[in-house]
Chains A and B, each alone.
Chain A
């Protein structure tokens, strides 16, 4: 199985900060990665498809990038509504695997 190592597990940042969350894939997944946002009591919401493509309706302050086996989700200027859990999911190979999640809190 492909392991997705996500970091950090939690973080606290101030409004307006630039925030980056990373998932490292244990094997090549191409760009077959989705970033989800999940707010308490809600289902996951896809934010980024194919590592770098913004989903419909997602604010432009969100972006995705790749460097080798490291995939990153960046929020350029943190807003209060961005407080949530974030998960990566690789869909290159079955079984699909999620990262362990990042809890983003606002200072």
Chain B
């Protein structure tokens, strides 16, 4: 059974940083592209970025809206996906989801940016 479990969310001040983790199980982690999306309360999701699989060199793509502030990485020995978020703004407040290609998504973790 595929499981994706996000953690690391919470309240952070504007300008601060946060690192989200996504623990993956139930599939061969290195075979899959892994993505992050976010969803502000009551709004549509926004795609943030992807890290490709082993066959594609674990390269990354980002939404221009977060490029340079957010970094996606993966620990392929522990099957963990990361989202490092820097210089956070109020508009980054959202539920953040990690995903296995498009098939499976975690339950999400809330990030609130506020003073």
A residues adjacent to B (C-beta < 8 A):
1, 34, 36, 42-44, 46, 49, 87, 89, 91, 94-101
Contacts and interface: CB of A to CB of B under 8 A. Distances in A.
Given A34-B102, A49-B102, A98 B108 contact: no
Interface in B89-115: 97, 102-103, 105-108
Contact of B62 (A42, A43, A95): A95
A43 B107 contact: yes
B47 A97 contact: yes
Contacts of A89: 45, 47, 102
B102 A95 contact: no
Q: Which 4 A-B pairs have the closest CB atoms?
A: A43-B105, A96-B47, A101-B44, A95-B63
Given A43-B108, A46-B102, A49-B102, A94 B45 contact: no
B31 interface: no
15 contacts: A42-B107, A43-B97, A43-B105, A43-B106, A87-B44, A89-B102, A91-B102, A94-B61, A95-B65, A96-B50, A96-B63, A97-B47, A98-B46, A101-B43, A101-B44
Contacts of B105: 43-44
Interface in B31-50: 37, 43-47, 50
**Main SS at interface, chain B:** loop
Nearest to A100: B44
Interface residues of B, number: 19
Contacts of B44: 87, 98-101
A34 B45 CA distance: 13
B26 interface: no
A43 B6 CA distance: 12
A46 B62 CA distance: 22
